[in-house]
Copies of this chain bind each other. A is one copy, B any other.
Amino acid sequence: MLFFGGDYNPEQWPEEVWAEDVALMRQAGVNIATVGVFAWSDLEPEPGRYEFGWLDRVLGLLHEGGIRVALATPTASPPPWFTLAHPEALPVTADGIRLTHGSRDTYCVSSPAYRAAARTIAGRLAERYAHHPALAMWHVHNEYGTDCRCDVTAAAFRLWLQKKHGDLSTLNEAWTTSFWSQRYSDWAQISPPRATQYMPNPAHVLDFRRFLSDELLDGFIEQRDLLRAANPDVPVTTNFVQGGWVSVDHARWAEEVDIVAVDHYPDDAGAGAEEQTAFAADLARGWGGGSWLLMETGPNLIYTSGRMHAKEPGRLTRHSLGYVARGSGGAMYFQWRQPRGGAELFHSALVPHAGPDTPVFREAIALGRTLRNLDVAATGQPTARVAVTWDAPSWWALQGPGLPAGDIDYLGAVRQAHRALYRAKLQTDFVFPGVSTDLGDYRMIVVPHLYLVSDEAAAAFRDYVAAGGTLVVTYLSGIAEPDSRIRLGGYPGAFREVLGMRVVEWHPQAPGATVALSADLTAGRWIERVETAGAETISLYADGPLAGAPAITRNRYGSGSAWYLSTALTDDSLQTLLHEIAVSAGVEPVLPDLPPDVEAVRRGDLLFLFNHGARPATVGDVVLPPGGVRIRSAEVEGAPVGRG
């Protein structure tokens, strides 16, 4: 059964509204409600005084209505009283400014007082509800990611560093502290990155980001273990959040949750919303090892360029089924009912301010019906023959100081690679060479901006190619060891051997620059002086400062081949090139001859067809109305869904 539902915050409403909520949920086919995410100040209005009665009644009502519950621990937002009791547990910025309550996420995860308070409230919930019949899963915290630079954090950071580096001289070496006289002679001299005169040390910044991810993970594990202990049968998760600045390494965290749950909010109101949906879902499926759950998205809004874009009719349906097609165990939203106040009072909800007699709620009813009729459990998961690499530490390193250009964008590069494959109708997975050197049995792996690569991962890529795989490496890959020290002798360091070439100079170009390549390709923004050493040149720079020099190379290595892209290709050129490479690697699209606006996804026996365009589209014997969706299986022809 697919989950359909989302965040339900009855504490925002008088009790008389709750019955209407459950009735409307039933009308829409909602079968799960995430409860209690921000309820700490209602559950424990004063230190040690608990009010569980209302939650008992809410869970009872939901249970009676046949709606299951993802019960949250409310630890992402301590109540105001916590600030007064433990001012030292509030987060501090790099400038030394101590933040206060009045929003959310005002805690320092390294603070013993915070951790104790979190354990206590989680423990109380576990004690009371671990065997509640409505309980479907535990939802720990919310979107872990809060940063702090306080002295308590500093102490925790030092312990983490000691564990990682062992002794100071190793750390000094790894961080190249001789640069700018930063050599540490005592652990006490090390703090989180804080306001300083000029650029900080990139290795220091990177280690702090790794520490923060681990420290937050400790906070999660502590709660998870406590909840598991109360009832080992209830799965425990926390909602991962995707976005432009992410503090945790989800690929590592995924090993610690019972199910990967993801919040996803696209930030582009155009076709990018659908492309981001596919990207987010494929990435989440990768983290989850095949399965995952969309825990939150906006029912009827896309935050884009400072405004809340309302979705066009049918788009809620297409997005929701898009996540499901790509493996999600359901479709869940933030939030059920639009509140009368609070910071997100205009964030979209299934029941908006105008009430249930509205387009969004009507579409939700139809969507609930469709989801109810889908039997995905029986059909398995999507499969792919192409993979793209994802590595949070490489991302963090490329968000750091001192880089050769200000517009380096790891997330953008990975998204672009995925988008090119998406537009080429190639079903795509993700692999995580920073976490596992198992590269699967893909026919083709694309490696965008994989800045940090360990020797082990480099060997795995070589083995993969030697065994017949096709590898496509882009610039800014293989540059550094995992501790961020540069690999000498020419970029892309770790990949030089498999690629049969090296780079002797980077030439970052001005934003908006265009560079022509041979083979009808176009690039911009970044070019490199490449020297081949065994590789053949597939495409040359046709103009610009490196005219005549190699731009794209291919190296036969063992039974496979390894491509190097030394430049930032345009979307069209990258799509063309990756499509050609895929064809040569024997990778085929989901369906042949799909129209441009049609997205096709196979999940087991099911075939999902989405028409994202404004005109009807034909796929075989299926006619898709504008904005329409069809779901087919070998056995059963699915009913048309969406607004068609």
- Which residues does A use to contact B, with CB under 8 Å? 9, 11-12, 38-42, 45-46, 74, 77-81, 83-84, 91, 93, 95-106, 146, 174-186, 188-191, 193-204, 269, 300, 304-310, 312, 338-347, 352-355, 357-360, 401-407, 484-486, 488-491, 502-511, 529, 545
Given contacts A182-B41, A355-B488, A491-B354, contact A308 B508 (CB under 8 A): yes
- In the bound complex, do residue A178 and residue B41 qualify as a contact, i.e. CB atoms below 8 Å apart? yes
Within 8 Å by CB of A345, from B96, B204, B338, B402, lies B402
Interface-central residue, A40, A78, A196, A407, by most chain B CB under 10 Å: A196
> In the complex, which residues of chain B have a beta carbon less than 8 angstroms from the beta carbon of A91?
197
B198–A105 touching, CB < 8 Å: yes
Shortest Cβ gap from A309 to chain B (Å) = 7
CA distance A507 to B269 in the complex (A): 12
Query: Chain B residues near A338 (CB, 8 Å)?
Result: 486
Given contacts A182-B80, A358-B505, contact A343 B485 (CB under 8 A): no
In-complex Cβ contact of A486 among B38, B341, B347 (8 A): B341
Given A353-B490, A505-B352, A185-B79 contact (CB < 8 Å)? yes
Would B485 and A340 count as touching, CB distance under 8 A? Answer: yes
Apart from A42-B183, A79-B181, A103-B200, 6 more pairs, CB < 8 Å: A42-B178, A74-B181, A100-B191, A343-B401, A354-B505, A359-B529
Is the beta-carbon distance between B200 and A102 smaller than 8 angstroms?
Answer: yes
Chain B residues in 8 Å Cβ range of A269 = 510
Do A104 and B189 form a contact, CB below 8 Å, given A80-B182, A176-B345, A308-B405?
Answer: no
Residues of B within 8 A of A45 (CB): 183, 185
- Chain B residue nearest in CB terms to A342: B179
- Copies in the assembly, this chain: 3
Measured in the bound complex, the distance between the Cα atoms of B182 and A74 in whole Å is 12
B38 contacts A181, C-beta separation under 8 Å: yes
Q: A199: which of B195, B344, B353, B357 is its contact (CB, 8 Å)?
A: B344
Closest to A408 in B: B307
Min C-beta distance of A463 to chain B, whole Å: 26
Chain B hits for A402, CB < 8 A: 342-347
Whether A9 pairs with B100 at a CB distance below 8 angstroms is: no
CA distance A509 to B402 in the complex (A): 37
Instruction: Note all chain B residues with C-beta closer than 8 A to A38.
Output: 178-181
Q: List 29 A-B contacts (CB under 8 A).
A: A9-B178, A9-B179, A41-B182, A45-B183, A77-B181, A77-B182, A80-B185, A80-B186, A95-B97, A96-B97, A102-B191, A102-B200, A104-B180, A104-B197, A106-B197, A176-B345, A179-B341, A179-B342, A179-B345, A300-B505, A306-B407, A307-B510, A308-B405, A345-B402, A346-B506, A353-B490, A353-B491, A354-B504, A357-B504
Least Cβ distance of A46 to chain B in Å?
A: 5
CA distance A527 to B357 in the complex (A): 20
Query: Distance (Å) between the CB of A240 and the closest chain B CB?
Result: 18
The CB with the most chain B CB atoms within 10 A, among A83, A174, A507, is that of: A507
Query: Chain B's nearest CB lies how many Å from the CB of A28?
Result: 17
Q: How far is the CA of A42 from the CA of B173 in the complex (A)?
A: 12
Determine whether the beta carbon of B340 is less than 8 Å from that of A486.
yes
Give the complex CA separation of A123 and B600 in angstroms: 74
Residues of chain B lying within 8 A (CB to CB) of residue A177:
41
Complex Cα distance A81/B181, Å? 11
Contact call A354/B406, Cβ cutoff below 8 A = no
- A198-B104 in contact (CB<8A): yes
Complex CA gap A343/B423 in Å reads 39
Determine the distance from Cα of A184 to Cα of B83 in the docked complex, in whole angstroms: 11
A484–B182 alpha-carbon span in the complex (Å): 41
B102, A343: Cβ atoms closer than 8 Å: no
Q: Point out the residues of chain B lying under 8 angstroms from A74, CB to CB.
A: 181
A628 to chain B, nearest CB (A): 17
Instruction: Please determine whether B490 and A355 come into contact, CB atoms closer than 8 angstroms.
Output: yes
